[in-house]
Chains A and B, each alone.
Chain A
Amino acid sequence: MSDQTKTWLGSRLPIAHNIGNQLSRKPLAANQPYLAALGMLITATLLFLVLSGVVLSAYYVAAEHRAFQSIQLIMRDVNDGWLIRSFHATGTTMLFAAVYLAIFRALVTGSYRLPGELVWSLKLVFLLLMLLVGYLGYAMQDSAVSYWSLHGVVQTGAGLASFPANIFNWVFGGPAGPGTLTRLAVMHGLLTFIALGVLALHYFAKQAITPPAEKTVPLHPYYTSHHFVAAGVYVLLFAVLVFFAPHLGENPLNQAPANPLLVPAVTTPPWYLLPATALTHALPGTNGGIIAFIAAFAVLFGMPWLDRSAPGARPGFLYKLLVVVLALDVIALCLVAAAGPSTINAVLTIVFIGWYFLHFLVLTPLATARELN
């Protein structure tokens, strides 16, 4: 911008001018790791998904038995449609990878501890919203697997008690019928914008609890150049997946149209829904799965209080080791869920989910209390 334009903008719209000036001079701790860019990358990816999603919505038809054909049109006949859809699908993979990594990092570094409990809770709320948005996007494809998954979910919802059923009807719009995919598409977009709001709240809540650093540098040019490196590596990985593995972590049957007469043998969802899927299939009955899912998130929300360490103490080696084991446990759970139902897998699922709850309810309080002394 020329000086003349700056003066003109400053006198006509001072707020834009001031925010820009203050943001670029904002003092930040000088010793942040590259992973500190995760929040920025998650926000940028979500905005990118909004952009590509808006373009896709110009051709997507949200109606049962027509949605799949409209996606075929995007992939084959719309100019560069395959590229936009690949951006959207792979962007989802990148977003979930970044969100799971951010939550793992928060657990390892102990940033969930008081006074970080609100920042931590907002991370979890964001993950919940993304799981829902991700599932809706998956169901919107009306493929050979997502069709049956959606019908299963809608039937489960119909069997629920009144209170969750109300929420359920709000999201899924009651029994599956001609209008179901239209409602899913609306919720898919709406919840994304709510998630953007949650990201903003997370940012401001984090600002409020960040202690003043001893040594600071201004955001520009120091952290702009720093984050540019992180973004470069992230976008490079993104591009490799878009162009060389556009269907990574996807069930091949997701590329076949829905068949209302044939339930597929392998119903593996996209990789980012595997932890949630494993939880909802862990306990028998309709309510069992929902109870397991709610309990799994309840212990996560409870972390600031399950951690017994002294205020200001750094997480110890034993605790960090346990978090790494927990991550391996969740990955193992996903692999079992991807392998499909069998007797051994049912047992393994219970074992891995059992370890998950043991970690939060027993091992974390013990390990952190030990570090108290």
Chain B
Amino acid sequence: MKFGIFAAALLAAPLGFGATAHAEDTLVPLHWQSQGTFGSYDQAALQRGFLVYQTVCASCHSASAVHYRDLTALGLTTEQVADLIANIKQDNQPVTLNSRLIGALPKAQAAATFGGAIPPDLSNMVAARPKGVAYVYHLLTGYQPAPADVTLMAKHYYNAAYPGNQIAMPAPLTDNAVTYADGTKATTAQEASDVAAFLSWVSDPNLDARRQIGLRAVIFLIFLTLLAIATKRKIWRDVG
């Protein structure tokens, strides 16, 4: 079934672009730099993804396990992060570096707006789904007109990637919803790809450190094991 959703989303994604994207848009980024055994985060994509999160997602969704101070991991200095969050407010108060990433809309109000569905916290969204980073991407690009035989529930939208295909969240991303500082063209697919990368960092902020330490640890242990084998052979030589 998992494969079915994945395949359906794969087939559906280009159709979705056809309706909204530009003719020259050929971006189908089904690969993220952090995937694979030795992958690491693409910090430029994470920074773009944070911009999408803060501009679009944060209206309703929190990522409360993360503090703004943690954003230095995206390759920014503390001063740059402070500049970045200067205009962000929570409960009409400016946020500080130690504030958590909390959605602007109170949960009850958001639920009332979206037909009773509470916007989930995004702290572990990528980790808690199979193939989470691709799932988020396909969800965000999976909005389509409902097929003729599907009757949508009130305040629900048709989404090819969402289990059950009826989602209470309206399509959040549009072309040029944000303006990227690095000049990257802000297509819907690009925004979805970047915010999926950002949310995978939110789910697993230690991935880079883990793999760096891991590589050194494994190389050391291979050397140590070879040494142990040589020692054992030498000691046991006369036993036969």
Contact = CB atoms under 8 A, between A and B. Distances in A.
A229 B236 CA distance: 13
Interface in A215-250: 217, 221-222, 225-226, 228-229, 231-233, 235-236, 239-240, 242-244, 246-247
A80 to B, nearest CB: 9
A242 B214 contact: yes
Given A226-B236, A235-B221, A252-B130, A243 B206 contact: no
Interface string B91-133: 0000000000000000000000000000001011001111010
B228 A256 contact: no
B166 to A, nearest CB: 15
Contacts of B229: 229, 232
Given A144-B128, A229-B232, A253-B128, A217 B239 contact: yes
Contacts of A30: 239
B37 A244 contact: yes
B239 A252 contact: no
A217 B130 CA distance: 52
Contacts, number: 81
A144 B120 CA distance: 13
A231 B231 CA distance: 14
Instruction: Name A's interface SS.
Output: helix
B153 to A, nearest CB: 17
**Is the interface on chain B under 10, 10 to 19, 20 to 34, or 35 or more residues?**
20 to 34
A255 interface: yes
Nearest to A236: B221
Q: Which of B127, B129, B205 has the most CB of A within 10 A?
A: B127
B236 A222 contact: yes
A255 B228 contact: no
A76 interface: yes
B129 A252 contact: yes
A82 interface: yes
B232 A82 contact: no
Given A233-B225, A236-B221, A222 B127 contact: no
B218 A243 contact: yes
A232 B235 contact: no
A221 B214 CA distance: 31
A221 B232 CA distance: 9
B217 A256 contact: no
B23 interface: no
A225 B232 contact: yes
B66 interface: yes
Contacts of A244: 37, 211, 214
Interface in A71-85: 72, 75-76, 82-83
B65 interface: yes
A72 B128 contact: no
Contact of B236 (A225, A239, A256, A257): A225
A314 B215 CA distance: 44
A262 to B, nearest CB: 10
Contacts of B218: 236, 239-240, 243
A247 B213 CA distance: 17
B224 interface: yes
Interface string B181-214: 0000000000000000000000101100011011
Contacts of A254: 128
A122 B213 CA distance: 38
A208 to B, nearest CB: 26
A246 to B, nearest CB: 7
Contacts of A255: 124, 127-128, 203
Contacts of B211: 243-244
B231 A225 contact: yes
B150 interface: no
Contacts of A221: 235
Contacts of B65: 72, 76
B154 interface: no
Contacts of B222: 236
A255 B229 CA distance: 39
Nearest to B234: A225
A225 B232 CA distance: 5
Nearest to A221: B235
Contacts of A229: 225, 228-229, 232
Interface of A: 30, 72, 75-76, 82-83, 86, 144, 217, 221-222, 225-226, 228-229, 231-233, 235-236, 239-240, 242-244, 246-247, 252-257
29 contacts: A76-B65, A76-B205, A82-B206, A83-B213, A86-B210, A217-B239, A221-B235, A225-B228, A225-B232, A225-B235, A226-B232, A226-B236, A228-B231, A229-B225, A229-B228, A231-B228, A232-B221, A232-B228, A239-B217, A240-B214, A243-B211, A244-B37, A244-B211, A252-B127, A252-B130, A252-B132, A253-B128, A254-B128, A255-B124
Given A229-B229, A257-B121, 20 more contacts: A72-B123, A75-B206, A76-B70, A76-B206, A82-B210, A217-B239, A225-B228, A225-B231, A228-B228, A228-B231, A228-B232, A229-B228, A231-B228, A233-B225, A236-B218, A236-B221, A236-B225, A239-B221, A240-B218, A256-B128
Interface of B: 37, 65-66, 70, 121, 123-124, 127-130, 132, 203, 205-206, 210-211, 213-215, 217-218, 221-222, 224-225, 228-229, 231-232, 235-236, 239
For the complex of A and B, list the 8 residue pairs with the smallest distance between their C-beta atoms, beginning with the closest: A243-B214, A232-B225, A256-B128, A255-B127, A225-B232, A236-B221, A228-B228, A82-B206
